[in-house]
Amino acid sequence: MSHDHSHDHHDHDHVPNNKKILLLSFILISVFMVVEFIGGFFTNSLALISDAGHMLSDSVALGIALAAVYIGQRASNMRHSFGYQRFEILAASINGLTLVVIALYIFIEALVRFRTPQEINIQGMLIISSLGLLINIIVAWMMFSGSDTQHDLNMRGAFLHVLSDLLGSVGAISAALCIYFFDWKWADPLASVLVAILVLRSGASITFKAGHILMQGTPDRFDPEKIKQQILQLKDIIDVHDLHLWSLNSKRYILSCHIVVNDDMTMSKVQEILFEVENSIKKLGIEHTTIQTETRDHQHHRTCSLEIPHQHGHDHQHDHDHQH
């Protein structure tokens, strides 16, 4: 059974942009993370320190996301027949988990600060948090406008890190203003807690989505029962069973199923039916399809593996299909 992977690069139209933006974001975030941590230490601001901790997780997240883009581009081989694209999902799950850990750390530290409020250098806190906000706005804008943050789960994970860090800077600025004008020392840990809630939500969301893909769960955008009924509406198909649908990464979907045809069906007729099923499924955005045909009595079967090249029409040439 052969597989034509000629379409592997069509999913990577955004890859050059993703690489460039991730690299630039990684440098900006890493440099300012050091600045913010030192500033938080000297101003004694938990909001700044927690934000710097979050920026550290951003830096790690962007580094992992960058590695995922490079590793995901590696060609498939006998050991990894689908290539390395799923590393993107592993990277996204690590990003999500680090967000959860950072959020829990901020919660614990904030509780301590609520009990024992500490003196804070307001001017320094305000200057550094404002610079942090500016850096995060620049990075978030670059990611949103120049890379695929909507469909690429890896890029989305990195983008959510930056967004939640942007909110951390907003929280630190708000806390600094509250302390400056009203002497509300509890505003510093309160800002940290509010940011931690947002961080935890983002982290949990990305972790659950990545986990669903790693567990070969059915993609949310598809209804297997509807797909089954769609196949059954095609002529000469008696039954459809063992239908499985899962994601290779956040944008590439795979389907396999068995279809039952009449005993007296000729091979050429079976081939016609397979092409009809293939085209029907392709329209849904599922690009790799493996279909097994069986006769009504299931005593013998023919198997065809059909991998659908993404965004390419079919010239009625299916040299890669095997008939058994």
Rounded Cα distance, 103 and 106, in Å = 5
pLDDT at 309: 44
Last-in-domain residue among 182, 215, 248: 215
Q: How many CB atoms lie within 10 A of CB 179?
A: 23
CATH of the domain at 259: 3.30.70.1350
Last-in-domain residue among 184, 215, 246: 215
Q: Residue 105 belongs to what domain range?
A: 18-72+83-215
Co-location of 230 and 201 in the same domain: no
Cα torsion at 231, 235, 239, 243 (round to 10°)?
-20
Question: In the predicted model, is pLDDT for residue 2 greater than 80?
Answer: no
State the angle between helix axes of 46-72 and 153-182 in degrees (0 to 180), rounded to the nearest 10: 170
pLDDT at 15: 55
pLDDT at 245: 95
What is the average per-residue pLDDT within 99-113? 87
> What are the pLDDT digits (tens) for 200-248?
887 888 899 899 999 999 998 899 999 999 999 988 888 999 999 999 8
Report yes or no on 264 lying in a domain.
yes
Residues in Cβ contact with 78 at an 8 Å cutoff, skipping those fewer than 6 apart: none
Per the CB < 8 A criterion, the answer to whether 244 and 256 are in contact is yes
Q: How many CB atoms lie within 10 A of CB 228?
A: 15
Report yes or no on 320 lying in a domain.
no
Per the CB < 8 A criterion, the answer to whether 294 and 261 are in contact is yes
Co-location of 122 and 239 in the same domain: no
pLDDT at 219: 93
> What are the pLDDT digits (tens) for 33-44?
899 889 888 888
Task: Convert the chain into a string of H (helix), E (strand) and C (coil).
Answer: CCCCCCCHHHHHCCHHHHHHHHHHHHHHHHHHHHHHHHHHHHHCCHHHHHHHHHHHHHHHHHHHHHHHHHHHCCCCCCCCCCCCCCHHHHHHHHHHHHHHHHHHHHHHHHHHHHHCCCCCCHHHHHHHHHHHHHHHHHHHHHHHHHCCCCCCHHHHHHHHHHHHHHHHHHHHHHHHHHHHHHCCCCHHHHHHHHHHHHHHHHHHHHHHHHHHHHCCCCCCCCCHHHHHHHHHCCCCCCEEEEEEEEECCCCCEEEEEEEEECCCCCHHHHHHHHHHHHHHHHCCCCCEEEEEEEECCCCCEEEEEEECCCCCCCCCCCCCCCCC
Co-location of 201 and 268 in the same domain: no
Q: State the total domains in the chain.
A: 2
Co-location of 59 and 200 in the same domain: yes
Rounded Cα distance, 122 and 220, in Å = 47
Report yes or no on 288 lying in a domain.
yes
Last-in-domain residue among 196, 215, 234: 215
What is the band of 137 on the pLDDT scale with cuts at 50, 70, 90? very high
Per the CB < 8 A criterion, the answer to whether 206 and 99 are in contact is yes
Co-location of 50 and 149 in the same domain: yes
Report yes or no on 5 lying in a domain.
no
Rounded Cα distance, 175 and 39, in Å = 15
What percentage of the chain exceeds 70 in pLDDT?
86
Q: Among 77-81, 170-174, 223-227, which range has the highest average pLDDT?
A: 223-227
Co-location of 123 and 228 in the same domain: no
Co-location of 32 and 172 in the same domain: yes
CATH of the domain at 51: 1.20.1510
Report yes or no on 89 lying in a domain.
yes
Residue in this structure with the two tokens 């799950």, named with its chain if needed: 93
Co-location of 171 and 231 in the same domain: no
Report yes or no on 126 lying in a domain.
yes
Report yes or no on 307 lying in a domain.
no
Co-location of 134 and 236 in the same domain: no
Co-location of 158 and 248 in the same domain: no
Question: In the predicted model, is pLDDT for residue 316 greater than 70?
Answer: no
> Which has the higher per-residue pLDDT, 44 or 298?
44
Least confident of 1-10, 64-73, 84-93: 1-10
Co-location of 199 and 244 in the same domain: no
Co-location of 56 and 195 in the same domain: yes
State the average pLDDT for the chain. Answer: 80
Give the burial class of 75: count Cβ atoms within 10 A of its Cβ; 0-12 exposed, 13-18 middle, 19 or more buried.
exposed
Report yes or no on 60 lying in a domain.
yes
Chain length of the chain: 324
